[in-house]
Amino acid sequence: MQIDDRTVLLTGATGGIGQAIARDLRRHGAKLILTGRQGDVLDSLATELDARSLIVDLADPTATDGLLAEAGEVDILVANAALPGSARLDTYSTAEIDRVLDVNLRAPILLARGLIPGMIERGGGHLVFVSSLSGKAATAKSSLYNATKFGLRGLSHALRAELRDDGIGVSVVCPGFIRDAGMFANSGVKLPPGIGTRTPEQVAQAVRKAVENNRGEVDVAPAFMRVASTFAGVAPELSAAFTRVTGANKITDDMAEGQRSVR
Question: Catalytic positions, please?
Answer: 145
7 and 73 in contact (C-beta within 8 Å)?
yes
The helix/strand count (H/E) of the chain reads as 11, 7
Rounded-to-integer distance, Cα 252 and Cα 231, Å: 18
> Beta strands of the chain (E only): which ranges?
7-10, 31-36, 52-55, 76-79, 125-130, 168-175, 217-220
125 and 159 in contact (C-beta within 8 Å)?
no
CA distances from 207 to 49, 93, 154, 211, 228 (A): 18, 33, 18, 7, 22
3: DSSP letter: -
22 and 230 in contact (C-beta within 8 Å)?
no
178: DSSP letter: B
29: DSSP letter: T
Please, how many CA atoms are within 13 Å of residue 110, restricted to the half-sphere of its CB? 20
Rounded-to-integer distance, Cα 221 and Cα 199, Å: 9
Rounded-to-integer distance, Cα 93 and Cα 115, Å: 32
Could you count the other beta carbons within 10 Å of the beta carbon of residue 218? 18
Residue type at 236 in one-letter notation:
P
